[in-house]
Amino acid sequence: MDERNTSNFLQAIVTEDLASGRVTEVKTRFPPEPNGYLHLGHAKSISVNFDLAERYGGRCNLRFDDTNPGKESQEYIDAIQADIRWLGYVWDGNVKYASSYFQQLYEWAVYLVNQGHAYVCDLSPEEARDYRGTLTLSGRNSPYRQRSVAENLDLLQRMQAGEFDEGAKVLRAKIDMSSPNMNLRDPILYRIRKVPHHQTGHDWVIYPTYDFAHGQEDAIEGITHSICTLEFEDHRPLYDWLLEHLPVPSKPRQYEFGRLNPSYTVTSKRKLRRLVDDGVVSGWDDPRMPTVCGMRRRGYTPTAIRRFCDMIGTTRSDGVVDIAMLEFAIREDLNENAVRGMCVLDPLKIVLTDYPEQQVEELRAPRHPSRGDLGERLLPFTRELFIDAADFREEANKKYKRLVLGKRVRLRNAYVIEADELVRDDSGNMTEVRAHIVPDTLGKDPADGIKAKGVIHWVSATHGRRAEVRLYDRLFSHEAPDRGQGDFLEHLNPDSLQVIAEAWIEPSLAEVVSEQHVQFEREGYFVADRHDSRADKPVFNRTIGLRDTWSKG
């Protein structure tokens, strides 16, 4: 049975298009601009396009809309491809580029000029804004609108030859300066940019605008359903106008869906870049970033991200999506698949006075409580152990279920112990707790009937391994950091990262390889850092806690 979310209006459209014969095969595309790293919003768009094609046995292209070379680079192209592959998607055929169609697009620009539907305009950007009008005031025709076809062709060819400076001239469509839709008020089709292109080098000094290139690229590739977010809804009349006025090989249709606006997050490329440039985060793949590479390094899985995108549905309305839904998806995935292990973040030494100093007992524990296929792990048990300092008190009420002087607690997967004495240093700091093992309690309750009140985790002080643990949390403490007044940086969470330089892990965890997930029992879900973790110095990033600590109430 298909368990995917059925809240997807696009499926109804595609079903009808196939039934009516408007299309015989579904073909979609994901068209990123290579001017930054993909973020969670892009992941939603990727899932919409690729999943829709897959559902109907169609194909999905990956096409870089690389029409603005001054802000683009091969670095972003490579990163975007890597992110899509990591999410588990496969595009149809070779990677495609708008730049591959530059010659055809230029020829179509010439065609529009010959048909009297485009002209070269000399207005400065400031003058053009004035002539364009406002939402309540009609625009005015450019004084260059009535140039002859011959003059426009000559000027366009000279633009292409590099004769004019940047900003001196643009090619504009001749549509309607009184249109209530601002996008139809003689939009720019080509502008002069004297910068090299990462794909075409110095072949071009004029570049098409996104609005001019996009629909024609769709037509060249035979895209049947051109899917974008709602901010492009007002651009659809221009998309259709260009397809109607050009001899394109096919007539794709544009459809818009509500963009993903996750709470406690910003997805503006400009704001994400500021976080990087201002040193708020360590880079684009900082585990607190909502970039795909950042989420990957944090320990989010493709399964969880795709499940989240499916859970929120695909609708025609914009709205804020609770980021807790993504956190639920990753907890659900990792609870089923992450191996278990013990890690002590704030070590307090326990000395078992009745246990031989040189003895090492190899206890066994499952790697996962319900996944026998994942096998077992060995836990060296020794005289000296570490427990978390928060798991011990000299005195406590009955609600406290951990170790207390004179009381008992079970060490997870090991014995019941009883605390006898607390040792402090000259400054009064706790240095160790002396305790003894309650006899015959390995996997059993004490024979005297006095049961332990709780279970705590531990690591051998002599056989455990040191590790660096990075406790990541949400980067912002405000639900809508960039949708109110003031600077979004005012809402940074001061506790979004805590680095524990010397945590202690059980020996089996030192064998965890890069990007492998583990549940530190009673602490949360973690992942071995894909860049920094090494066998001689393990580094773990906290993906998510065991439970939601941000719930309102």
Residue among 404, 370, 300, 270 at smallest CA distance from 40: 300
Pairing of strands 455-456, 408-411: parallel
Among residues 55, 145, 193, 259, the one annotated as catalytic is 259
DSSP one-letter code for 348: E
Q: Which two tokens stand for residue 254?
A: 């544009």
Phi, then psi, of 27 in degrees rounded to 5? -135, 120
Q: How far is CA 372 from CA 279, 339, 368, 443, 522, in A?
A: 45, 11, 7, 19, 21
Told to judge if 362 belongs to the known catalytic residues of this protein, a careful annotator would answer no
Contact 123, 142 (CB under 8 A): yes
Give the span between the Cα atoms of 50 and 61, in whole angstroms.
Answer: 9
Among residues 4, 55, 269, 453, the one annotated as catalytic is 269
Q: How far is CA 457 from CA 89, 182, 463, in A?
A: 40, 64, 15
Contact partners, residue 75, CB within 8 Å, separation at least 6: none
Give the span between the Cα atoms of 245 and 112, in whole angstroms.
Answer: 7
Q: Which two tokens stand for residue 534?
A: 């090494």
How many residues are listed for the chain in this entry?
553
Pairing of strands 260-262, 384-388: unpaired
Contact 540, 533 (CB under 8 A): yes
The CA radius of gyration of the chain, in Å to the nearest whole number, is 31
Q: Which two tokens stand for residue 450?
A: 């006095």
CB-side neighbour CA atoms (13 Å) of 489: 12
Give the span between the Cα atoms of 331 and 325, in whole angstroms.
Answer: 10
Phi, then psi, of 129 in degrees rounded to 5? -65, -40
Q: Which amino acid is at 283?
A: G
Told to judge if 269 belongs to the known catalytic residues of this protein, a careful annotator would answer yes
Told to judge if 259 belongs to the known catalytic residues of this protein, a careful annotator would answer yes
Contact 141, 177 (CB under 8 A): yes
Q: How far is CA 293 from the centre of its chain?
A: 6
Give the CA angle between residues 231, 22, 221 to the nearest 5°: 60
How many other β-carbons are positioned within 10 Å of the β-carbon of residue 431? 11
Give the CA angle between residues 220, 225, 230 to the nearest 5°: 115
Q: How far is CA 249 from the centre of its chain?
A: 36
Residue among 321, 325, 286 at smallest CA distance from 308: 325
Among residues 33, 54, 151, 468, the one annotated as catalytic is 33
Catalytic residue annotation = 33, 259, 269
